[in-house]
Chain A
Amino acid sequence: MESTPTAGLEGRALACRRGGRTVFRALDLAAAPGDLLVLRGANGTGKSSLLRLLAGLLAPSDGRLAWDGEAVDEDPAAHRRRVAYVGHNDALKPTLTLAEHMRFHAALRAVPGDACAAALDAFGLGALAGVPARFLSQGQRRRAALARLVAAPAALWLLDEPTNGLDAASVEALARAVARHRASGGIVVAATHLEFAGASARTLTLGAA
């Protein structure tokens, strides 16, 4: 089974237990460089749990998660370096400006801060760079959270309902960012109800069994 190490992300027989119940089990998934894997399934089927598990926030109760054939838990620090995670919350501090958020995020991810301005521009926030987050609308806050993806490049994007609160134009911007990321060999795993434009996405439906 493990004779040919697959490039990219691979999960085998993953299981997740939370609060005494099994959220999912025997879940296989694979995403090669350039792939977009869309997670689908009803509420409570474990899309968010799977994303947290892929990020390394949550340890699988069974199964194996590997990157380029190497088990992820062998070197958690390396996995943290390659993961960019956008969860339900936007992780914004009300009194910090968007530019400060981007710079802090780049420093936290230990990457140079050159891409910060471009990241805000990519999501149409360039004019708001000096504005504290508390003045922003729901959609603007969501875009700021997504702009982090561009501000600090990482190989594996894990997006939990990234389009929540976004208008059509912003979904476009996200689709462009995702397409660029994939074109440069990145992987995207997203739990979302919307299709990304032009995406040759593969779909993983949870809770089907």
Chain B
Amino acid sequence: MSAALALVARDVRLALRTPAETLTILAFFVIAATLFAFGIGPEPQALARVATGIVWVVALLACLISLDRLFQAEADDGSLDQLVLAPAPLELLVLAKCLAQWLTTALPLVVVSPLVATMLQLSPHGYATLLASLLLGTPSLTLFGAVGAALAVGARKGGALLALIVLPLYVPVLIFAVAAVEASIAGLSPRPHLFLLAGLAVFALTLAPFAASAALRQASE
């Protein structure tokens, strides 16, 4: 267990020493959302109707691009061998890396999301649920993304391949999260959707560490 905590601490420390990486992801989040305003037009009603979807899709893409180096960097400098050879189960170490990744990229996205939502004229009734859906949904994004990142270690064309692997797995998260926010805006209870999101997170938590570990063991053969 202490090995996993040490790994979380190391990755958080690495992220804090090079804050540019997290800031780049956040900048992508804001800029990509801005592009939608240019694409759709400035009318507040038009933007408000699609705001939830845009915030979520862009947050999802920001998560995706931040995963590119999750395991590839470890493989490139030889650290992956040390992780695979550590006495602790690799599944636990994968979870540790996912937790650190979530803390250093997904959580900042959640914090910035109200700003983006304001720019896109999200209905005031949607904010609380938007934050809740992001908090419940992004762990699934990180976990499924970790599977894709582990599978793509050593591949010839990392980025696009990672998107191709991971995006179909993100569909349920997107559907339930947006449904939750839309329900709140429509004055309905978002709870069933949020429960489904939480269920997805549990599902991802049980499946992803094993799949990602299997992929990492293959990658370090």
Contacts and interface: CB of A to CB of B under 8 A. Distances in A.
A198 B140 CA distance: 56
B85 A91 contact: no
Nearest to B9: A104
Contacts of A197: none
B87 A110 contact: yes
A56 interface: yes
Contact of A108 (B14, B82, B221): B82
A57 B78 contact: no
Interface stretch (A30-38, A63-71, A79-87, A176-184): A79-87
Contacts of A52: 221
Contact of B81 (A77, A85, A93, A107): A85
B7 A57 contact: no
Contacts, number: 73
A58 B78 CA distance: 15
Interface string B177-219: 0000000000000000000000000000000000000000000
Interface size class of A (residues with CB under 8 A): 20 to 34
A123 B112 CA distance: 46
A95 interface: yes
Contacts of A91: 77-79, 81-82
Interface string A43-55: 0000000001001
Given A92-B77, A110-B2, A110-B3, A105 B14 contact: no
Interface string B16-60: 011000000000000000000000000000000000000000000
4 nearest A-B pairs in the assembled complex, by CB-CB distance = A89-B78, A107-B6, A95-B17, A91-B78
9 contacts: A85-B85, A89-B81, A90-B78, A91-B81, A91-B82, A93-B79, A96-B14, A108-B86, A109-B86
